[in-house]
Structures are given as C-alpha cells and as structure tokens.
Structure 1
Amino acid sequence: MSGPYAAGMNDSEVVNPARFLGRADAYAAARPGYPAALGAWLRDAGLLTGRVADIGAGTGRFTALLLDMGASVAAVEPNPEMRAHLEDHLSAAVRAGQLTVHAGTSEATGLADGSVDLITAAQAAHWFDPARTVPEFRRVLRPGGRVLLVWNDWRAVDSMFNRAYGEVVRQHAGDDPLRTRVLDDELPLHLPGGFERLTFTHRHPLSREGLTALASSVSYLPNQNDPAYPALRGDLNAIFDSHQSGGLVALDYQTQVFLGSVE
C-alpha cells in the first residue's frame, strides 16, 4: 500500500482521512493531550509490556503518552500530513527503534498477523467501520490481546467556558458534532468481547490563537479556506474576550476509556 488513498479502499477509508487534510498544523498545535493518570494506569496494569499498535494515531498525541510510559509502538495513520507531524515530533523514538510509523487504516493496518498485544485508538474509532475493523484487529492481535478506545470529550463537562464554546460549535457545525462519538449502545460493535469503562478528567488551557487553532482542527467546523471561517473566528474571539484570565481560557475534558476485547 503506497498511501491512505490506495486502490481497493472503501469510501470511508478515503473520505474520513480527507476530512482532515489541511488541518494537521492546527491539530498538532491545539488539540489536547491525555491525562498522565491514564498513562500511569496503563503502565501499572501491565498493558504496555508488549507491542502496542496505535491506530488512527494522527499527529501523535496519544502515541507520545504510550512512548513516555515505555511502550514499544507501531503508529498507523492514513493522513499523510498528520503522519509527517508524528514522524517529525517523535523522531527520537523512531531512531531508537521504540516507534515505527505506518500508512494504513483500521480496516487495513498493514501490520503482520499476531504482531501486537494491545491496540489503541484515541479520538479515532468513531471513523472506523466495525464490520471491517474487528476482523483486522483479530488478525493483528496476539492471543489474549486487548483493545483500548479513548475519547477526550469536552461535552461531558459542565463549565462556563465549555458552555460558551458549545454554543459556538452549535452555531457553526456543518453536521451534528455528536456524530463524532461512539455512543454506549454502539460500543459492542467495536468491542464484541465485552469491555470495561474508566473516566479521567483534565483541563486544556488555550491562548486566543490556540482556541482558533482548536476549532480549525475540527472536521465539522469551517477551516481557514471556508467563506464561513471569519464569522466563526469572530465568535471565538468574543467568547475568549468574555472568559479569558491572564490571556488564557480553558476547556475542561472528560477522557472516556474503554478497554475490551474483539474475541
């Protein structure tokens, strides 16, 4: 496979990566990371002792957490711009042999049979087709391997700035932003062997430029080339001015974690 749009891929494999073309810089600059407590839990639970495949790795936010906890990681990402960010940001781990980077999707990872002990997908599994992804995960996992699905969700936290940001999103979203969450009744399709759920919380401070970049990184909001973007930026500036303290605002996130099996 030469890249994320190679012949033979289905429509979801082509369209979903394409939704983020031109957004990689903003994504790398402004998306939140993941709580250190989540990384410590993964390490202490012994889930990082084998090889980990991080699917839909994006610019490497979650990959970096895995590496910091000592994991050996294969990062799989279809978007070439995001993959380039990941390779550049985590180049030391690549040189050290702790990280390999692959062009692929959840339905066609390009990884060898039985080559990983844990599959992770952070802020990505809502794009996966479970009918094609689950067999691929079964193929690449070793016996007893697990799957970890993770989402940072600002909608799950009620704070003044979260409410203000949510109102801007509702005014400018081109489609329903809630579609970017796998709801509880859909999780059995992704984790048919059952799962457990954990939650963590963390705060993501943002400058004015960071808030604009965060919105620009979201697939359902206008990007900088969209005629609707100036109106979005004006509304973001307005809520920033109303809520900033010391030149920063903060979105509060609940990190939702689902650890399960595809067997």
Structure 2
Amino acid sequence: MPTFAHSTERFSDRVADYVRFRPTYPREIVTFLHDTCGVAPAAPVADIGAGTGISAKVFLDEGHPVIAVEPNDAMRAAADALLASYDGFSSVSGTAEATTLADASVDLVIAAQAFHWFDPVTARREFARILKPRGLVALFWNSRMLEGSPFLEGYEALLQQYSTDYQAVAERYGDDESMAVWFGDAFAHKAYFPNAQWLDFDGLKGRLLSSSYAPKAGHPNHEPMLTALRALFDRTAHDGNVEFAYQTRVYVGYATPQR
C-alpha cells in the first residue's frame, strides 16, 4: 500500500469545500448496525478520522453519543462548530493509531471515508484497545459510481486526466477483497446502500475541489480542469443539475478474532 506524507494535513486548505459539498451517509447504515449487527441503540461510538463531523452527525441523529477523533485542527474545529448543539458529542485530537481514548471505552468504532489513510496494523491494535468486549468496527465509504451515465463516465475521465495523485488515492479505498483481508476471521457483515447528490455547477465545482487529489489554484492543471468540468456539466446536466451517484459500502467486524 502506498504511503502519503502528511496525510493528516491533506485537507487543511479544503475544509470549507468539504463542509459544504461532501455527501452525507445513508441513515440505513445505523439501522443495519442495529438490526443486523446487534449494536445497541445509544451505544457509545468513536468516529476515527471524523473530519468535519459528517459521519458523526448521522449517529448523533440516531441517538448515539459520539467521540470524534480527528488529528487535523481545522477539520476538528469544523466538526465542533457543526455539532455544538448535540449533548452527546465530544472531540479529541488523536489519530487512528493513537486515539487518546480510554481502554474498553466504546461499543462501536467507525471510520467513514478515512480508513485508507490509516496504518492498518497499528490502527487495528488501537481499535481493539478502546473497544469493549464484543465491540464492533464499522468501516464505510461513499464510493463514487464510475459508470452508468455520461456525466459519471466523463467525470472519471476528467480526474484521470487532470488530478495529481487520484489513481494512487483511489486504489486505497476499501473493497470486498481488501476488507476481507483486513478483518480476516473477524469479518462479520457487509452491506451496500445507494446514495446520491444532485449538484448545480457551483456544487459540482466545490465537490471536486474538496478532493485531496484535485489540483489547487496555481497548479498548471487547475484552470484546464475547471474548463473541462464546465464543459462536462453543460453537456450532461438536466434541469440545471447533475446526479453525483455513489454506492455506500459498509464493512463490519471485530478488531480481533472472536472465539
């Protein structure tokens, strides 16, 4: 697996776009964890790599107290602002490998759109430490659909042409095979849910610029990329919007093999 220097800081200058333009996650994830995986309602949750609080909010809205663990100061501040009204929310500066949380303090560890930045071996050990006995790990991603419409196929081609390290980042995302390897004998459940955003051009532009691999202003690919994005939008939009479609993939298991 490739490594990325300063991965905890890759989004520092993209926080505003991340807050405004990144998709949320289907509430069906929480229902699945309750009904299929046996997670108790109101069980304490640690959201690792919580970012701006998008995933934490899904669980807070369903009655779970959430501790957000996030090493990036700007992203953690955005989460604190977004979720300040929730009594069950708190945040700490920590990483997947060193969360700062107490031993056996949570029933569920989640990581949404973040696990591919972790050291998989050290993170697994840390998850096992902070989870209560029989506590679960749920890893999930909004995986952008790469085909199925002219827009989706054109957007993928645009990323391949103009992005800086898109392919290296995309290859790190969790899939059935890599998650089966990581969980091993501790793999318990998986599920897939449809998800989508309907975006006007400003929303589409913000969504693109929230990605860590999108070249920023000043990079020679930045303006050509935005020109190509405008052309793609103009030829594929319907009623002023494009459908940015995802499949939300959820993988659930234990941090250690269960006997």
1:37 aligns with 2:28: yes
Instruction: Give identity over the alignment, percent.
Output: 36
Task: Trace 1:1-263 onto structure 2 (pairs within 5 A).
Answer: 15-45=6-36, 46-47=38-39, 48-93=41-86, 96=87, 98-155=88-145, 158-175=148-165, 176=167, 177-192=169-184, 193-263=186-256
TM-score (norm 2): 0.90
1:201-258 Cα offsets, whole Å, 9 max, x none, are 0221111111111111111121235332111111111111111222211111100000
Could you tell me whether the CA contact under 8 Å between 1:190 and 1:262 is conserved in 2?
Answer: no
Q: How far apart are residue 188 of structure 1 and its match?
A: 4.0
> How many Å separate the matches in 1 of 2:207 and 2:143?
13
1:73-112 Cα offsets, whole Å, 9 max, x none, are 101111111111111011101xx2x011111110010101
TM-score (norm 1): 0.89
Instruction: Report the residue type matching 2:210 in the other structure.
Output: S
Structure 1 111/157 Cα, relative in aligned 2: closer, same or farther at 3 Å?
farther
> How many Å separate the matches in 2 of 1:138 and 1:119?
9
RMSD over equivalenced CA pairs, Å: 1.8
Could you tell me whether the CA contact under 8 Å between 2:45 and 2:110 is conserved in 1?
Answer: yes
> How many Å separate the matches in 2 of 1:53 and 1:158?
35
Alignment length (residue pairs): 249
Structure 1 13/115 Cα, relative in aligned 2: closer, same or farther at 3 Å?
farther
> How many Å separate the matches in 2 of 1:14 and 1:49?
37
Extract structure 1 runs of 4+ deviating beyond 6 A. none
User: Alignment partner of 1:110: what SS?
Assistant: coil
1:36-71 Cα offsets, whole Å, 9 max, x none, are 322333344552432100101111111110011110
User: Alignment partner of 2:97: what SS?
Assistant: coil
1:154-183 Cα offsets, whole Å, 9 max, x none, are 136523321111111111122214224124
> How many Å separate the matches in 1 of 2:57 and 2:152?
26
Q: How far apart are residue 186 of structure 1 and its match?
A: 2.5
Could you tell me whether the CA contact under 8 Å between 1:147 and 1:191 is conserved in 2?
Answer: no
Instruction: Report the residue type matching 1:201 in the other structure.
Output: P
Q: How far apart are residue 124 of structure 1 and its match?
A: 0.5
Q: Which runs of 5+ in 1 are unaligned?
A: 1-11
Could you tell me whether the CA contact under 8 Å between 1:201 and 1:253 is conserved in 2?
Answer: yes
Instruction: Report the residue type matching 1:190 in the other structure.
Output: W
